[in-house]
Amino acid sequence: MAAGGLLAHTVISRFVDHLPYYRQEAINARSGVHTPRSTLAAWAGATGAALEPLYDAHKRFVLGCRVLHADETPVAMLDPGAGKTRRAYIWGYARSRHDATPGVVYEFCLGRGAQYPVAFLAGDDRTGLRPWTGTLLTDRYAAYDTVLDGRVYPDRAAAACAAHARRKFDELASAGASPLAEEAIRRFARIYEVERALTDLDDKTRRAHRQELSKPLWDKLQTWLELERRLVPDGGPIAGAIDYTLNHWRALTRHLDDGAVAIDNNHLEQQIKPWAMGRKAWLFCGSELAGQRAAVVMSLVQSAKLNGHDPWAYLRDVLQRLPTQLNTRIDELLPHRWKPQAVLETSCP
């Protein structure tokens, strides 16, 4: 019977420190503790199951932000019938980089189609989650067009990642293939220089400064790109970079009109990195259920890190308190509200 501290240690070792179960088994054996990898996997699964009510509350909190980042990344899932792995996906959603209280939530899905974010943002009567409305910042992957269809979701708006637009020019500039790309990088650098100076401002002030300082730079960039595009032949990589930027111009400049919207999606890409590191360490999820429970654990521990908590201390305390925590007070255990239980000290007479 593993106590909360050992359960927390096991899942933190896997999902934060990226130690596969066979390595944890060997590490524990050096201390004379026999923990077969099947036992460790069962403990991690039970931990994810126990945390599901808290995950539902955390999802409500994250989707309560009117500005969200969204992204997805592939993970491998064991396919026993085929004797190999198949591709699944982790979808991530984070509160705006400029929001005062950070949080990220993940969902494990079998595919990359639009039906997954559509369902995730559609609300859930079972948990009291209302359909999400607001501005969604993405890399403009085509699936998000369905999520942001104005005819179906008039209360949603699209914002695009400036880093993705810049990256297309950067790849060409790094290869020395295009002086035009090098000039585009210089123009993006001036925009980002202004943006860095506005990081710590409130949304209203940030918007005002963007209108005054950033908007003229974006206007000049648009004019310059439109002129250069007339001189560039169709079908080439530089034409593709220009077309991507101009075709998504409204979404790329959404942040100019809303101080709560970030200029790029780098904030969520950083929260997706632990999954990319995990792919190289623990290689695959054992099943769809294992992937779902991994997403539950990762949502909470990654949000704990965003809020400045030691993920092991947070998870251990939550696992100890959760069985007796009233459902009406479960929000007290959310990463952004969590406070460790006070240690009662007694003095000897």
Kindly list the distances between the CA atom of residue 185 and the CA atoms of 162, 231, 264, 272, in Å, as whole numbers in the listed order. 11, 19, 15, 25
| pLDDT tens column, 262-309 | 999 999 999 999 998 887 777 678 888 989 999 999 999 999 999 999
What percent of the chain is predicted at pLDDT more than 90?
79
> What mean pLDDT is predicted for residues 146-160?
95
Asked whether residue 251 carries a pLDDT value surpassing 60, the answer given is yes
Kindly list the distances between the CA atom of residue 268 and the CA atoms of 146, 168, 200, in Å, as whole numbers in the listed order. 20, 19, 18
Q: Side chain identity at 27, as an amino acid letter? A: I
Beta bridge mates, 136? 68, 158
Kindly list the distances between the CA atom of residue 197 and the CA atoms of 142, 190, 194, 201, 220, in Å, as whole numbers in the listed order. 32, 11, 5, 9, 20
| pLDDT tens column, 31-84 | 999 999 999 999 999 999 999 999 999 999 999 999 999 999 999 888 877 678
| pLDDT tens column, 80-134 | 776 788 899 999 999 999 999 999 999 999 999 999 999 999 988 777 788 999 9
Contact by Cβ (8 Å): 16, 303: no
Using left for φ > 0, alpha for ψ between -120 and 50, and beta otherwise, residue 188 falls in alpha
pTM of the full structure:
0.91
